[in-house]
Amino acid sequence: MRTVIDTGLTLPLVDAVIAADRALHDRLLDVEALVAAVAARAGTWNVKRLRQMVDLVDPRSESQMESRLRILLVSAGLHRPESQVDLHDSAGRFLGRADLYYPSHRLAIEYDGGSHRNSLVKDNRRQNLILGAGYKVRRFSAPDVLERPEIVTAQIRGELAAPHLAA
């Protein structure tokens, strides 16, 4: 807990959220304990930063870059996507899990890290099933998120602004 609080006070917000997400995901602490620890610091120096961190954390995030992508979208004014959502076809068969998901638009967002190259065939098959079931998929990699964040957010903003069909 002390490390997460310290990172929340000293690191840039994105880095602090990434550290907190990891600690929460690894069950080194839980959200309720983090919220209580931040609440206990009410009136202290920089508690606003800690509250911002807590508002952005997600223990379901499975990687640093998934966290970074989620924070990018929220920081751009988009509503928060759900994390690690199981996707099913109309018969209820499991198709795969989306890193980030906007259920209102059936929009799955995938972060492709370095291991994606090793699972390309499997990932393509999974994506084809997901697309065939009526979901939309957008894939991003580190260069997208780190070097072209405005394009990432513009693409997702465009998807969310488009009319959507019922499932």
Query: Are residue 150 and residue 130 in the same domain, yes or no?
Result: yes
Does residue 134 fall inside a structural domain?
yes
**Shortest CA distance to 53 belongs to which of 22, 12, 83?**
12
Closest CA to 19 of 35, 38, 5, 31: 5
In this structure, what DSSP letter does residue 60 have? T
Asked if residue 166 belongs to a domain, the reply is no
Q: Identify the pLDDT of residue 124.
A: 86
**Residues 68 and 32 reside in one and the same domain:** no
**N-terminal to C-terminal alpha carbon distance within the chain:** 42
Residue with tokens 């979901």: 135
**Residue whose structure tokens are 């990432």:** 152
- Structural domain harbouring 98: 64-161
Assess whether 70 and 52 both reside in one domain.
no
Cα gap 165→136, rounded to integer Å: 11
pLDDT computed for residue 46 by the predictor: 86
Percent of the chain whose predicted confidence (pLDDT) is above 90: 84
* Residue 115, pLDDT score: 60
pLDDT computed for residue 165 by the predictor: 59
pLDDT digits (tens, 9 = 90+) for 76-119: 999 999 999 999 999 999 999 999 999 999 999 999 987 656 56
Which CATH number belongs to the domain containing residue 104 in this structure?
Answer: 3.40.960.10
So what's the pLDDT on residue 116?
55
Q: Following CA atoms 79, 60, 18, 143 in sequence, which dihedral angle do they give, to the nearest 10 degrees?
A: -70
Residues 81 and 123 in one domain: yes
Q: pLDDT truncated to tens, each residue of the chain (167 aa)?
A: 999 999 999 999 999 999 999 999 999 999 999 999 999 998 888 899 999 999 999 999 999 999 999 999 999 999 999 999 999 999 999 999 999 999 999 999 999 987 656 567 888 888 999 999 999 999 999 999 999 999 999 999 999 998 865 55
Q: 48 with 73, same domain?
A: no
Report d(CA 4, CA 6) in Å as an integer: 5
Do residues 100 and 136 share a domain?
Answer: yes
Predicted pLDDT at 31: 95
| 49 and 125 assigned to the same domain | no
Residue 88 host element (H or E): strand 82-88
Distance from C-alpha of 89 to C-alpha of 70, rounded to nearest angstrom: 25
Domain count for the chain: 2
